Amino acid sequence: MFQIIKKVALNPSVSMMVVEAPYIARKAEPGQFIILRIDEQGERVPFTIADYDREAGTVTIIFQVVGGTTERLNTLKEGDSLLNFVGPLGKASEFEDVKSVAVIGGGLGTAIAYPQAKKLHRMGVSVDMINGFRNKDLIMIEAECKAACTNLYTMTDDGSNGNQGFVTAKLEELIQAGNQYDLVVAIGPLVMMKAVCELTKKHGIKTIVSMNPVMIDGTGMCGGCRITVGGETKFACVDGPDFDGHLVDFDQAIRRSKMFAESERKSREAHRCRLEGMEHA
């Protein structure tokens, strides 16, 4: 069993959990993920490692409540335990010969971009971090991100935090201002990562994206997380999650991401019905 040491609501739909998992914390690196099960009846669900503390033996995950399992996960409290917590899985991010990097996080992707920026910053790399949210109420881990980069730019679609615009607009502005990036790391919604890659390809800047399609076993056996990169089939769980963004077939990935939308909706409705029934019993 893996005990929940800390739980914090970051915004109305996103929570952070710090889980006691010393063996995973000992080996974890930015870019990797874990797969957890709440209990014997629970499904296997992957979450990117948002942070880790080797001395305390803890691993941090940040998740959005979007389906039945994450709704159940969000009902757990500090002191409760998870049945399974497996990792670290996937390949760790590799950064070589870079001096100036732009790290971009979109929405929940900020939680995944944060450890990337933190690692680069600790390496002495100049890091401009650009985070994008729909509005100011959804902004999260801003203080942590500020400490993990050289310059932080937090954008909102509606401008409710005083900085209106998409992350791509800010990136273009920084490039036009003379910033010469060796690398761009983009993590977030597929449409956002696609837009970033189209921009950086125009400027000839190498770009890494983190692909997070549906994963079931985390070993490449189920094939659920397959994507096309450079015309070849890859499995995000074992070949990634990091890939060269200029080689990813985003259109295919976007189509595949919509396959389970109806199942997720039904799962949420069924879970709410069961909880409501318990409340009225």
Nearest in space to 93 (alpha carbons), one of 192, 229, 241, 219: 241
Which of 21-25, 154-158, 223-227 is predicted with the least confidence, judged by mean pLDDT?
Answer: 223-227
Nearest in space to 141 (alpha carbons), one of 120, 121, 118: 118
Which of 120-129, 183-192, 214-223 is predicted with the least confidence, judged by mean pLDDT?
Answer: 214-223
pLDDT at 266 over 80: no
Q: What is the pLDDT of residues 210-260, one digit of tens each?
A: 998 777 777 777 777 888 999 999 988 888 899 999 999 999 999 887 766
Which of 10-19, 109-118, 162-171, 263-272 is predicted with the least confidence, judged by mean pLDDT?
Answer: 263-272
Q: Is 223 left (phi over 0), alpha (psi -120 to 50) or beta?
A: left
Which of 53-57, 138-142, 257-261, 272-276 is predicted with the least confidence, judged by mean pLDDT?
Answer: 272-276
Q: What is the mean pLDDT of the chain?
A: 89
DSSP for residue 79 = T
Preceding peptide of 12 cis, ω within 30°: no
Q: Quick one: pLDDT at residue 68?
A: 84
pLDDT at 268 over 80: no
d(CA 200, CA 247): 12
Beta strands in 69-194 (DSSP E): 81-82, 84-89, 100-106, 126-133, 151-156, 183-187
pLDDT band at residue 281 using 50, 70 and 90 as cut-offs: very low
Order of strands, sheet of 207-210, starting from the edge strand that comes earlier in the sequence: 151-156, 126-133, 100-106, 183-187, 207-210, 242-244
Nearest in space to 223 (alpha carbons), one of 232, 235, 212: 235
Q: What is the pLDDT of residues 84-117, one digit of tens each?
A: 999 999 999 989 899 999 999 999 999 989 999 9
pLDDT band at residue 158 using 50, 70 and 90 as cut-offs: very high
The answer to whether 224 and 214 have CB atoms below 8 angstroms apart is: yes
The answer to whether 121 and 100 have CB atoms below 8 angstroms apart is: no
Q: Quick one: pLDDT at residue 276?
A: 54
- 39 vs 213, more confident: 39
Q: Quick one: pLDDT at residue 12?
A: 86
pLDDT band at residue 280 using 50, 70 and 90 as cut-offs: very low
Exposed/middle/buried for residue 217 (C-beta within 10 Å: 0-12, 13-18, 19+) = middle
pLDDT band at residue 132 using 50, 70 and 90 as cut-offs: very high
pLDDT at 272 over 60: no
Q: Quick one: pLDDT at residue 17?
A: 96
Q: Quick one: pLDDT at residue 267?
A: 57
List CB contacts of 55: < 8 A, sequence separation 6 or more.
none
Q: Quick one: pLDDT at residue 279?
A: 45
pLDDT at 66 over 80: yes
pLDDT at 264 over 70: no
Beta strands in 121-200 (DSSP E): 126-133, 151-156, 183-187
* Domains parsed from the chain with CATH numbers: 2-89 (2.40.30.10), 93-207 (3.40.50.80)
55 residue type, one letter: E
